[in-house]
Structure 1
């Protein structure tokens, strides 16, 4: 069992800052992010060449460390050594919030395990930015990253969309978007789809509609740029009373008190707790 750890920025000496950077518009850089990069002793960047453009724009001149998926284990040891010497390090990715489909997990985990403070400097994130403007339900959602390109992993990923009772957010390459939409169309009932493209950039756009409508649109307007794909939940009326009652007998749910059972079923099926509870009272 993991041990309890408590870290506090107030107690910190050297610190690893996880700094979000713009996803397309340099004006989205926060004052706090700029200040943090100015004060850090070192900056760990996914691609130092890309990050130099951002740093130059804000007049930041700090020593850089390349930290990417091919060298993260090695660079982690270097950063731990710097922290032990009392030198704070800022981690940035090419764009957006580090660790969200970007390197950094190994580093953050080992820095925390070593007892150092990891401090998030929040900011842009394309999945969240897209979801906020999509018009799809946001009270609960699942983020799935990029779908596997082929094989059983891809089939399972597509099937997961049919089983998730709330909005799903994913990333996709413009070259594979059409195939992914066709796969979704074949696996789930008609759902509302929203494809966000080039968030915060000059050609930002949102295309919403049923799967077939969105497919038709992109057949005429080939997709380009960075894409966030969102799939809305199944309509509540698709969840029958029989399905709710059947789930009430599932292992791990059947033994719960009525209120907790209703809450768990409602969460899994994307229906209201009151509807589930009223059905359970009739059993």
Structure 2
């Protein structure tokens, strides 16, 4: 029988957030695969966990991943942990999960802390729909593409950022998204935890004068549907009614149906479109 891969969440700051189940699993498995063994040994020592540990990180995820899968196929149970939070979110854990499924190995989750969810529920912004972006790409072209996509995003957005890059990222977001509401979450679950609810413009002013410290999670409000409707209406109003009608008729839409669509786009009645065409 093949073993099981356990995705074990660890605290993102406060050690009291470690679950009883996570401690038990980490003691019972045959091996712990950790993103940074030097960092994780402190956690394991705190909870008196003596299980052997090996490194699994971004730079060895393929080679080490195959070795871990072989161990699992030999019947060994392995727990995967990250530096902090839930493995598989913005880290190489997702690659190991994929490899396990391809090999027919059972994967299960031992849930716990996750910085993105913790920040989202602290933000005071809408939590019903959200888009998690993790860290924005460092490549300029790719970063530009992501920012362009975020400019039209209607869901609440969650972004990770390091303190030394925070101000630059806030300025880029302000330039591309406009002056949205934002909550800057720092030092989550730790002694100096803060959730700074403000706007992108005011955040830029504040952090220009106050050096940010600690890892940050930005929670940014999405574009409202009203904004999208107003932008679309402004686009249509740049056309004459005749041009607007022609736009739909070229798509094979009947004159009668095109009149309905033009009226809806412009926020007026169909009779008004009929009169304008006359």
Q: Is the 8 A contact 2:182 2:221 kept in 1?
A: yes
> CA 1:105 to 1:150, structure 2 compared with 1: closer, same or farther past 3 Å?
closer
User: Which stretches in structure 2 are left out of the alignment for 5+ residues?
Assistant: 237-246, 249-263, 274-278
Match of 2:88 in 1: 99
5 Å matches for 1:97-246?
97-240=86-229, 243=232
Does the Cα contact within 8 Å between 2:2 and 2:73 map onto a contact in 1?
A: no
Name stretches of at least 5 consecutive residues in structure 1 with no aligned partner: 1-11, 251-275
Tell me the TM-score normalized by structure 2.
Answer: 0.81
SS in 2 for 1:194: strand
Write the distance in 1 (CA, Å) between the matches of 2:112 and 2:224: 32
Structure ID, larger Rg? 2
* Kept after mapping to 1: 8 A contact 2:152/2:223: no
C-alpha RMSD over aligned residues: 2.5
Please report how far the alpha carbon of residue 81 of structure 1 lies from its aligned counterpart in structure 2 after TM superposition.
2.0
Which of the pair is proportionally richer in helix? 2
Q: Name the SS for the 1:65 alignment partner.
A: strand
Shift of the alpha carbon at 1:150?
4.7
Cα distance change of structure 1 residues 188 and 60 upon mapping to structure 2, 3 Å threshold:
same
State the aligned residue count.
243
Deviation at 1:233, TM superposition (A): 1.5
Q: What residue in structure 2 maps to residue 24 of structure 1?
A: 13
Question: Per-residue displacement from partner, 1:155-203 (whole Å, max 9, x unpaired)?
Answer: 2222222110111101011111111111111112321011101101111
